[in-house]
Amino acid sequence: VGLVSEVEGQLAELRALEAADGTPVLRTSVLTHVVWAPPKWAGAALETLAGLEERHPSRTILLFPEPGRKAEIDVTVSMRCFALQGVSHEVCSEVIELRLRGKRARVPASIVTPLLIADLPTFCRWRGEPPWGAQELDQLVGVCDRLVVDSSEWRGLPGSYGELSGIFGRVAVSDIAWGRSRAWRGRLAELWPEIRGIRRLAVTGPRADALLLAGWLRSRLKRKSIELEHRSAKELGRVAVDGEAVAAPVGAPPSASDLLSEELDVFGRDPIYEAAVKAA
């Protein structure tokens, strides 16, 4: 029995168990969600998932690469079920955890492709900085409709944005750091038309968010000369235009699950983001 048959068989058994009381299990999917999480990111990936599945019921395929070990694949299958308010049914999502060891970590597409749900979009969340030019990245970009990254998890900024822009033609890209800056971009947009002459942008927050904001202004306003003054902080907390502080957006910033969830609602390329990355 092959791995895929084994996975499908285990899922069928789990569905039968869930339906043991005679109530049929509803399996609802709006997408296939593939997560690439190197060991360092495994915990964070599972944590984000907990807040996400209820909003985007999907088949989730968690890929944990462990290239330094003996070549094998370890698989765990589970169902996460949620009661629906006022209804006797439960809705279940499938989670397939695959530990790709040794060489198997270089060829994820052959394992992922047969497990994708047909006719639904595939979103790949890549935790950490992708290994630009590596086979595993190349393969997953090939099977995904949308690659979701968080460039604030990267160390090689701003150079990595150049690498990222190299794959724009192959797959639509979402960046959690870009989503996080949305409310601030709204604030900056309110400064139109005075903001047309901006010379200096000061940002206190993650480096990625600051670079993207500056890139966005440079590309939208067609002013390459806008200088960025960045002060590092965990959260995007202050933005100033030519020394003048911009009013902060109202309310608490969205959670990691909220941000990822918003990206999973987006289809197609985002030319504004792509231009911001190129100008960052």
What is the contact surface with other proteins in residues (CB under 8 A)? 26, 28, 30, 54-55, 57, 82, 84-87, 89, 91, 182, 185-186, 188-189, 192-193, 195, 216-217, 220-221, 250-251, 266, 270-273
Cross-strand partners of 98: 63, 75
Instruction: Select 1 or 252, whichever has its Cβ closest to other proteins.
Output: 252
Tokens (6 digits) for 96: 């397939």
For residue 254, which amino acid is it?
Answer: P
Residues present in the chain in total: 280
* 252 vs 142: CA distance, rounded Å: 36
Token pair 């935790």 in the structure block, residue: 127
Instruction: Select 44 or 221, whichever has its Cβ closest to other proteins.
Output: 221
Least Å distance, CB 28 to other proteins, is: 4
Instruction: Select 245 or 272, whichever has its Cβ closest to other proteins.
Output: 272
Instruction: Select 93 or 160, whichever has its Cβ closest to other proteins.
Output: 93
- Closest Cα to residue 26, out of 95, 88, 100? 88
In the three-class reduction of DSSP (H, G, I as helix; E, B as strand; rest coil), residue 250 is classed as coil
Helices 271-279 and 207-221, interaxial angle, to 10°? Answer: 110
* 188 vs 20: CA distance, rounded Å: 55
Q: Tell me 270's DSSP state.
A: -
What sections of 126-270 are H helices per DSSP?
A: 135-143, 159-165, 176-180, 182-189, 207-221, 256-263
Least Å distance, CB 238 to other proteins, is: 19
Instruction: Select 91 or 233, whichever has its Cβ closest to other proteins.
Output: 91
Instruction: Select 17 or 272, whichever has its Cβ closest to other proteins.
Output: 272
* 239 vs 209: CA distance, rounded Å: 11
* 164 vs 51: CA distance, rounded Å: 27
- Closest Cα to residue 183, out of 248, 234, 139, 232? 248
Least Å distance, CB 51 to other proteins, is: 11
Least Å distance, CB 2 to other proteins, is: 25
Least Å distance, CB 157 to other proteins, is: 22
**Quick check: 100 and 108 in contact, CB under 8 A?**
yes
Least Å distance, CB 190 to other proteins, is: 9
Instruction: Select 102 or 249, whichever has its Cβ closest to other proteins.
Output: 249
Least Å distance, CB 9 to other proteins, is: 18
Instruction: Select 3 or 26, whichever has its Cβ closest to other proteins.
Output: 26
Least Å distance, CB 163 to other proteins, is: 23
